[in-house]
Amino acid sequence: MRAFLRTVSISTTVFLVSLPSAQAQTGNVAAGERLFKKCLICHAESVDEARRGPSLVGIVGRKAGVADGYPYSEAMRAAGAAGLVWDEDELAAFIKSPQAKVKGSWMSFSGVSRPKDISDVIAYLKQLAR
């Protein structure tokens, strides 16, 4: 019984740890584009346009808080200075709960929160390269 429990807890851990990258690989670009409409209220798809938030063109793999021409919050600039880079796992955590990831960020929107939806949005963001 104890051995059985140990096996169960190990496989649960492996499952939780491997989930984010597994999702990232299966993200659906078309579904992500539809979901991104929610982000468009505050984020532009063109490089030079800032709305309430910065442009997200080229965001995947970029350091936090460095889009040209956007006056980030203290919190986001500090996160970037401390080494936060928007890889897929960091983006997933931020989209799910911006305040939990970067406390004090100006972004409080967490309207895309299902794991599948988050990985779809990230798949779309990857297409938004410069």
Q: Which is nearer to ligand HEC, 2 or 130 (CB)?
A: 130
Assigned token pair, 127: 């297409």
Task: By CB under 6 A, name the binding residues for ligand HEC.
Answer: 38-39, 41-43, 52-54, 56, 59, 64-65, 67, 72-73, 75-76, 86, 91, 94-95, 105-107, 109, 112, 121
Rounded distance between C-alpha atoms, residue 13 and residue 19, angstroms: 10
State both tokens at 14.
């492996």
Shortest distance in whole angstroms from residue 60 CB to ligand HEC: 9
Q: 15 or 74: whose CB is closer to ligand HEC?
A: 74
Closest separation between CB of residue 16 and ligand HEC, Å? 23
CA distance 62 to 14: 28
